[in-house]
Structures are given as structure tokens and as C-alpha cells.
Chain A
Amino acid sequence: MKFYICIKQVPDVNAPLQIKEGQLLQDTDRMILNAYDASAVEEALVLSEKHDGEVEVVLIGPDKAKETLRKALAMGADKGTHIVTEDESYDSAVYSKILTAFFNDKEYDYIFCGKQAQDTDSGLTGGMLAMQLDLPYTTNAVGMEFENGSILVKRQGDAGQEMISVPSPGLVTCSNDMNEPRIPSLKGIMQSKRKPVDTISTGDLGLSEDDLAVRTQILSFEEKPEREAGRKFEGEPDEVAREVAKLLDEEAGVL
């Protein structure tokens, strides 16, 4: 059983951020493994431990993102591929094209992706990749198990949870509600340094400048119009509760 997990290095959304002249200034020291991807890695490791499988991770990103690839290896992935690019303008479509080129000559049972990157929340790449590789897929997985050679995915839908069987080879995008990704052990970290990592370029995958041209882009960033803090009520619970209820009726008009 062979799993490939597509992972991404993202800024920690909990870190303070600043916007200057429409540009987003981020603390580049606080880059992390995308939380949804971490859940995808964890789930593959659990399935692979149960069913004697192999887990490979693939990451597209700058040289600095190698630390994130190492993190996934320290969690327990067997091997990594780093597709190096310093270009930060790529959109989901370009990421999916690069991954499609990477997977074209690979054999695998399942590709897992995080359901979205936690900085941009786009959530397009997984579906694009599935379509381009002509794979059956499902998204927003909150649980998985094997059943008769296929993965049975519990997917969070609009009205409830859908149990969807995805045959191999297939693709699943993962929510972070599925598991608690393991923290790499010291042993895991030591071992990760000896695990094989292929470093390749988009050129190695036969992609040209035209293939990497974006059709969507971020023009600028701005602060959100702030919601102003309203009134705070402290005191006797009975009094403040009744007062606020009355205000909701008379002032806000929402009852």
C-alpha cells in the first residue's frame, strides 16, 4: 500500500502580522507544516502501520521549506520529494499542474492532501489534481478506514456525514478534525536526517514558463473593517441578563 501526501509550508496564522502599503509582512521564522496536511500525514501513517504500507511526502516550496519536509519525515514518513521553487506567486492551478507532472510516472494507491492551506483557505488544489490525474476523489475527510481494498472515507458534508468509498488509486483531501498529528520524537527527528529526500526543479518535471503562468493573483492586502467592541455588562447575573435581553429586543431589534 503506497501513500503520497502533498504538503505545504505555511505561515502560522496565530503569529502577529502587519500590512504595509498593501503588502503583507510576515514573520518568516514562524513557518509551519499546514495543519490540514499534518492530519493527512498522520492518517497515512496510521493506515500504513496497520496495513504495511509506505508513506512518501511531496512538497513544493522554497529552499527554506525543507524544514517542513523534514518535519513530516520525523513524524514517520519514509521518503520525501522537494520540488524547489522560489516563486511565491503560484496559484492553486499551478501547484496542481506541478503535482500532476510529478505524479504522472508514479505508482500509488492513494494521494492525500490537506483540504486547504491554512493561510489562503482556497481548497482547490486537491480537486484540481484529482481531475488532472483522472482519479476518483472526495474532500473534507474527517475519518478513514480500509474496507474491502478501498478506503472508506467519512466526509463532513453540509447536512451530515457521508460515508464514501474511494477505490484505489484515488485521492482524498483531509480535514484537521480527523486526528491529532503526532509530535515527532527525538528518535524520529534523528532518523529523519538519514531519510532520502529528492530535490528537483519544475524544469526537471518538464514544465515550461507557460505551464507555470498564473491566471489568478493576489493584488494587495488590507485590514478588515474592524468590528467595534460594543458594550460590556458586568454585575448581578440576573440583572445584566435581563438588561441585555431587553436591548436585543428594543435596541437591536433582533428578537
Chain B
Amino acid sequence: MSSLLTFISVNDGKIKRSSLEVLSRCREEAERLGLDNEAVVVAPDASNYSEQLSGYGVSKVYVVEDPIFKNPLNTPLLKALDAVIEKAAPRVVAFASTEGSKDILGALSASRNVPALPDVSSFEVTDSGVSGKRPVMAAKILSSVEAKGDTVLVSVRSGSYDLTESSSEPEVETIDFSVSEEEIKVVLKEILSASGDRVDLSEAEVVVAAGRGVRDEEGREMISELASVLNAGIGASRALTESGAYDPSLQIGQTGKVVSPQLYIGIGISGAIQHVAGIMNSKVIVAINKDPDAPIFDIADYGIVGDLYKVLPPFIEEIKKLKVS
């Protein structure tokens, strides 16, 4: 019972930034308490990531490799994590909060019979478990929470911690794994990918988000152009994913994704609490809206009151100029 274990999510050969944020926090806590800072990678090519992890002060990497992990299925992942937790007996298993970790957190908590604190914005390891803060009531307020147990599962909202580097030479331990077809009770038929070449919204350094004010193809083209100039991820409010104007995977907010970019630009977005719940971890918020009373102006660092169709062309042009110079 002397380690903190971070689950490392990977995507296309790269470790997700949100996992490294969690790992950075775990290293701080491990140093404070004299615990081992360990990580687990579950992927078809899991052993390829230990070098990337050596920059984050990891003493040991548990590796579970199997072609089955190419696909997002909960049963094999649960089985893999169950085996690793059994072996590592960590005080904490920490996840970045993603749709993938949300899919398994409850089930893992029940199968290991350990408590879970989901979606915290901060946490610390205590003598009896973990304490933390989590946004509740559509992220309008914070609750202080605690979990008591020898092992506690925690998932952390993206953007809650900064990356801090510290080099180490992690030991790699491969965990034997096999899963039979009978064990996997659900069947993945197909993945309808949003689009391969788009910037991953929850990891993006810059996010351009479209709201109800973006009413037609012309508006959407401006959004795409601005995003391309800024190399930004495109997001949307619920109104625009529901109407079919944008893919549902691009929805930002309480129901959709939490973003944590350096720069968030909300365009034609009024700032309903359900949307704002997903953008509060942004460093700089810019809002463009023609309604001077739109609630998004209450949280925007820079608010432009005006018709987006008139504001965006000179805005894009000026940013292009600044980018070149």
C-alpha cells in the first residue's frame, strides 16, 4: 500500500495531456508523502510509452498489451485494471476524466469494492483515503468531498493541474493478460469517427466554439477559418450539435466535453450554465456576441459586443497578420 498509480490514456502513439496532468499531481503527492509514483498503460503497444513517461518521475510502469485494446470496450479494460490493482495495491488509482474513464469508473469501483471520487478539480491523499473538491450543480459551486479506503479511485477534470517534469528511469513490469470472446459480452460493431484530422477538443490549446448565433454555412465557414488560423479545436454549444450543424462529439459543457485551453473563443454563444460548466478551466476566454447582456460576458476576459458576421472577418485577418509577424 505504498504507491499512487496513474492510468495513462494514449491515442495514436501519444500520451494524452490530461493523463500527464494527473501524473504530475500524483508525483507531487508521492514526493510529499514518500510514496512510489507508478503508472499503468493499457494498449496494443503499451510498452512503447515508458520512455515518454520517464520525463514525469515515474518509478514503475505496469504494461498490459493486447490487440483487443485497440477498441474501446469496457470488459477487457476492467479485467486489465483489476489485475494491475491486485498486483500494485496502490493507495490511489488516478484517471484523467474522459468518456473512456467514465465508462469504467463505477464498474471498477464495484468490482474492487473501493470508493471512487469522480471528476475532481483538486485532490490530496490523506491518512484514511483521499479528499478533494468537485464542481457540482452544473459546476456553479464546489463541494469538498472525502473518500475513505485503503485504495481510492479518483478521476480528475482536464486542466486542473499543470504539467511538471522530472526525469526518472522507470522499471517496466508486464502484466499477463488474456480475455476470451465469451467474457466480452458487449460487441463493438463500428466506430463512427468524427474526423481523423481534427484537433482533439479536450486536449486542444486553443478552442473555437460556435453557438446559436452561428446560423448558416457562411458562419460555419468563418468558424473553420478562424480555427485553422489558430490551429484550434472546434467545439459547439448543445443547440448546434442538436440541430445537426456540428457533430455531437464536439459538444462542450455539462453533458459534453470539458475543455481547458490557453485560449477559448466563444462565438455567438450566450453562455448558458450548462455550456459554461465545460469552459471554466480555460486560461483566457474571449466572447463575441451581439447581445450586450449575454451571460458569457460575465466570465469573458475579452468580450466583443457585435454581429459575429461583421466582427469575424477583420478578427481573422488581424490574427493572420499577427501570426505572420
Contacts and interface: CB of A to CB of B under 8 A. Distances in A.
B303 A232 contact: yes
B105 A124 contact: yes
Interface string A1-29: 00000000001011001010000100000
B99 A156 contact: yes
A93 B110 contact: yes
Contact of A140 (B103, B191, B322): B103
A158 B248 CA distance: 11
Nearest to A26: B137
B116 A241 contact: no
B305 interface: yes
Contacts of A164: 73, 186-189
A19 B16 CA distance: 36
A140 B99 contact: yes
B292 interface: yes
Interface in A233-255: 233-234, 237-238, 240-242, 244-249, 252, 254-255
A138 B73 CA distance: 9
Nearest to B302: A244
B212 to A, nearest CB: 16
A177 B253 CA distance: 12
Contacts of B255: 175-177
B136 A120 contact: yes
Contact of B106 (A124, A165, A170): A124
Interface string A166-187: 1100100001110000000000
B136 A121 contact: yes
Nearest to A251: B302
Contact of B137 (A11, A166, A176, A252): A11
B134 to A, nearest CB: 8
B213 interface: no
Interface stretch (A60-68, A200-208, A210-218): A210-218
B286 A244 contact: yes
Interface magnitude class on chain A? 35 or more
Given A157-B100, A159-B11, A161-B249, A137 B107 contact: yes
Interface residues of B, number: 93
A165 B186 contact: yes
A128 B305 contact: no
Given A19-B141, A119-B136, A234-B305, A255 B323 contact: yes
A188 interface: no
A124 B109 contact: yes
B149 A215 contact: yes
Contact of A121 (B100, B148, B254, B284): B254
B140 A166 contact: no
Contacts of A91: 115
Interface in A214-230: 215-224, 227, 229-230
A53 interface: no
17 contacts: A13-B137, A14-B138, A96-B106, A121-B138, A128-B107, A157-B100, A158-B202, A177-B238, A216-B147, A219-B146, A229-B303, A230-B303, A231-B301, A232-B305, A240-B311, A248-B263, A255-B263
Given A127-B106, A230-B302, 8 more contacts: A93-B109, A93-B110, A121-B254, A158-B98, A160-B193, A232-B300, A245-B318, A255-B322
Interface of A: 11, 13-14, 17, 19, 24, 91-93, 96, 115, 118-132, 136-140, 142, 152, 154, 156-167, 170, 175-177, 215-224, 227, 229-234, 237-238, 240-242, 244-249, 252, 254-255
Interface of B: 11, 72-75, 98-100, 102-111, 115-119, 129, 131, 134-149, 185-194, 200, 202, 206, 230, 238, 241-242, 248-249, 251, 254-255, 262-263, 273, 280, 283-286, 292, 297-307, 310-315, 318-319, 322-323
